[in-house]
Chain A
């Protein structure tokens, strides 16, 4: 669920000038060479099957997993149109048309969860999104390669910690029984309460996101920075442009395509703010602020046992999310970029 966000964001990286890309051009002649793959009217189907059966067999395990754990459950969304009952199964449960949708749309908690999701996404966009850009520029300005590598290692690391771990660390440091509260209490002050104060919720979750993923987010911008032609900086400097002017007129325009693309893709992904971070802190902050669509679906179903209610919410979220992605890609194409898929 959360994987997709990170994946899509990284998948659009521009090729940096360094490493890996050299072989790309060498692939051209290969089409005509070897076994004559891809040359016009290739060999017959039988001949291709005889030639490629090993390759197909290799793809099979992953394909079976994909069919069973992605496409089969996608079809399972039909229970959104039923009053699904686990004992009767899909075949035996009564069909109720759009009744589940009506129930969903009249549930104030659904709208509250949708509102919270959009709020969190908007706050992320304003307060999280610029930070990896700034951090990348800062890291890139460190001249010593060793120091830079060390700093990169440090800031990438929290990306690999689980949300349980990140939330736990925040509680231990900033929570009501945490380190700062303990110091405040020992000096006669009231302990911190931000880890359970609904008004501080957006601040806390955004800080957690920044702590965990801002460093990792720099990778794509560092690659884009490395792709900027150094001669531009030199000529600008010779023409008398200072440090800040060079950043404004060369660095930022150089990053612009990546920034625009990531922004657009982020728009296509606003309903996926993640599950675990909010699930874990729902009790501390209350569901009023922390319930997002995914946690709503979870609590609708696995707590109350109403599978169709959860499925219908998931289906609505999925369909709206799909539309958003398609629109976002359309926008990316308009601006001359490849989205998560290319122009046909």
Chain B
């Protein structure tokens, strides 16, 4: 127990060190942009935690990040790389909006589960296609998910500007590509009045626990992880590898689809342009932050949600170009992913010290 605690502590220390490294490089660019790094970072870190607004907005971003991240955990643990979450979010959003608007008079207790099912299924089908292509036709999933993202985007735009467009947009002649508002009874309740924080947060947290139980406490989950650990060995052990690949991608897609559902029912109340908002990529990073563990992904999503919000607030507070947000994100990802090295190789930190300072420094790795 003690050593386990130490392990976690070490991980946190290394992650924080990586974050600091990224911010140091980021400071160079802030200086180039003629703004004060200390003030800028002050806003970035204080903004998301200093008031109700910041905290709730952080969590609003954490919800889709967590759901996408859980899907990424499932797929990566099963040995399949899902870069298609952007498209799967769109599939989930459009499925939810369509079903929601199809039964405007149905009571929430029936309609809400139906809408969640529809969104999850849409995402699962979209993800499952990539899984099936890999399992049956050996089509690399990186290739197919990249392509499927583009296809999903075009189909989504077609649906929200064509068959599913808000009829009012047509009658007023404005033609904005968005669906009609979904019936009010299935708007997720706002947890804190005057903010956008919605009950999707609770849903996502429950799903995170379920995913943990599924992967580590059920035989299906065990087999999926076995496939991820080594498909050859898994096949030798009699596991139907192909089936679990399809299942993994369908589940990953379903999770991303649910992210689309909560964005529709919790935040926008309709399907509109740009709803995926890059969560499909940021979610991958959140999952990695969380060491590909369902429960680790929870704090990771919150941290990353705060980062996204804080960097965006920086734009307004110190007048730097919006592109800086992306620079900082990119640096954080590169540093964090590199920090893995120091976790996996306990001797590496000592070696680094030797390289940097030219003499052997006695100390524990990771401190």
Chains A and B are bound partners: no
